[in-house]
Chains A and B, each alone.
Chain A
Amino acid sequence: MTRISLTVDGQQVADDVEPRTLLVHYLRERLGKTGTVVGCDTSNCGACTVHLDGTSVKSCNVLAVQADGCEVTTIEGVAADGGLHPVQEAFRECHGLQCGYCTPGMIMQTIDLLAENPDPSEEAIRSGLEGNLCRCTGYHNIVKAVQHAAGQAAPTSSQPAEGVGA
């Protein structure tokens, strides 16, 4: 067992963990942060994306011991006082989700993307979200949601037609 102490969503935590514990499992199983999900478990899909010291990482591809002394932000910590983060708001507004499984990771990566590039082109959005897979293939409205969050032209046809969608 190795002693770690870190800050998760603004709260100081300390635990003894097995070195092989993955950060995502620590977050979910020890801290109950189940908003962060495990998707592919092979570091491809990005559903488990969290911020580690301010930048996005795939938490299934980081050991909990590597996060010792770090600051972790999960999807559960992005908004204050029970409200929604502007990016969460944009995903809701633009119907940027179908089944919703990839959404926590998409939102965490979008926050990172917009922090680095506040006014991204559509191409920059698509390549910036390259490490996040949507199993419903709902990328169209995800891109619109990111554009909306960036304050770009309001989407005009974001709502899917009746009978379309997951």
Chain B
Amino acid sequence: MIPAAFEYVAPASVEEALAALAEHGDEAKIIAGGQSLLPVLRMRLNAPEWVIDLGRIESLRGVRDAGDHLAVGAMTTHHDVGKDALVHEHALLVSKAISHLADAQVRHRGTFGGALAHADPAGDLGAPVLALDATMVVQGPGGTREVAAADFFVDLFETAISDDEILVEVRVPKHTGWGASYEKFVRIAHQWPIVAVAAAVRMDGDRIAEARVGLTNMGSTPLRATAVEEALVGQPATTDAVRQAATHAADGANPPTDLNGSAEYRNHLATVLTARAVLAAAGRDAT
């Protein structure tokens, strides 16, 4: 399978990329690592006239300690984010999710920003960045603006990024000392989750002081399981207490029905996986 013909440009700076985007507008598509876009182009589900490659923009790569948050360059590969010591220390949930994302080869090419901008509801990064209250930095002709993760995901494959803007950085607030787990349910190795749950927990002795829970593939966007988060506060990290709180996991969700499972089945998976993820994040045996 070969993509339809397109013109290609690989700008050396964000400004040049924005200029190319302004010039070609609707006819252009941004390529980051290309691990989602190239299959789409090969299957001819999309046929842009121009492809603007961000791969040569070095300033968009790397993870930086920015005080109260980590600044992750949009073009940092999954592999590099996943292995990053700062991410492991301050945003363990992101490291955990990346270890379940696709396979080694895809993680070498695919990028943190590219995956988020693609906004596949079954993508593995939406739920963790939403759970950790990340902020997306997008740059356009008028400069940069910040978008909260909660406002970033609009619908299936749709984000708050405007046609003339590029996602340049993701700011992940530090959650130092929080336990974390990403529980992903798949039928086939290295595939997208049927449902996955991202959980981060801050313990205070034997009790859960705070919890953050994000859901993957339980609606047209990643979701926060706020009812579970609220129910967990002050609870002991016991199997019974956590399972009780997790019964709220699918509250307000609108999961798809497809060949992998019905909406009802996904609701059930969400409660089971939420309990497992929270218990694992709390350092408890999930059995």
Contacts and interface: CB of A to CB of B under 8 A. Distances in A.
**Which 6 pairs from chain A and chain B are nearest by CB?**
A131-B103, A19-B8, A20-B3, A55-B108, A130-B190, A130-B103
Contact of A56 (B5, B6, B105): B105
Contacts of B51: 19
Interface in B29-66: 31, 34-35, 38-39, 41-43, 51, 53, 55
Contacts of B207: none
Interface string B1-39: 111111110100000000000000000000100110011
Contacts of A130: 103-104, 189-190
B103 A61 contact: no
B106 interface: yes
A19 B34 contact: no
A44 B106 CA distance: 10
Contacts of A62: 34, 38, 109
B2 A58 contact: no
B106 A58 contact: yes
B147 interface: no
A49 interface: yes
Contacts of A49: 105
Interface of B: 1-8, 10, 31, 34-35, 38-39, 41-43, 51, 53, 55, 79, 102-106, 108-109, 189-190
Given A42-B39, A131-B102, A57 B8 contact: no
Contact of A20 (B6, B43, B53, B103): B6
A22 interface: yes
Nearest to B110: A61
Contacts of B104: 56, 109, 112-113, 128, 130-131
A19 B6 contact: yes
Nearest to B108: A55
A152 interface: no
A15 interface: no
A22 B2 contact: yes
Interface in A93-118: 109, 112-113
Chain A interface residue bracket vs B: 20 to 34
Contact of B38 (A61, A68, A131): A61
A19 B34 CA distance: 13
29 contacts: A19-B8, A20-B2, A20-B41, A21-B2, A25-B2, A42-B1, A42-B43, A43-B35, A43-B39, A44-B190, A49-B105, A55-B108, A56-B104, A56-B105, A57-B105, A58-B105, A61-B34, A61-B105, A62-B38, A62-B109, A63-B34, A65-B10, A65-B53, A66-B34, A68-B10, A128-B104, A130-B103, A131-B106, A131-B190
Centre residue among B3, B39, B105 by max chain A CB count within 10 A: B105
Centre residue among B2, B10, B41, B103 by max chain A CB count within 10 A: B103
A102 B125 CA distance: 30
Nearest to A20: B3
Nearest to B41: A20
Interface in A42-72: 42-44, 46, 49, 52, 55-58, 61-63, 65-66, 68
A58 B4 CA distance: 20
A2 B8 CA distance: 8
Contacts of B43: 42
Nearest to B1: A41
B266 to A, nearest CB: 23
B104 to A, nearest CB: 6
A55 B8 CA distance: 24
A25 B2 CA distance: 9
Given A22-B2, A61-B39, A65-B53, A43 B106 contact: yes
Contacts of A61: 34-35, 38-39, 105-106, 109
B48 to A, nearest CB: 11
Contacts of A122: none
Given A43-B35, A57-B105, 16 more contacts: A20-B3, A22-B38, A42-B1, A55-B108, A58-B106, A61-B34, A61-B38, A61-B105, A63-B34, A65-B10, A66-B10, A109-B104, A109-B105, A112-B104, A128-B104, A131-B105
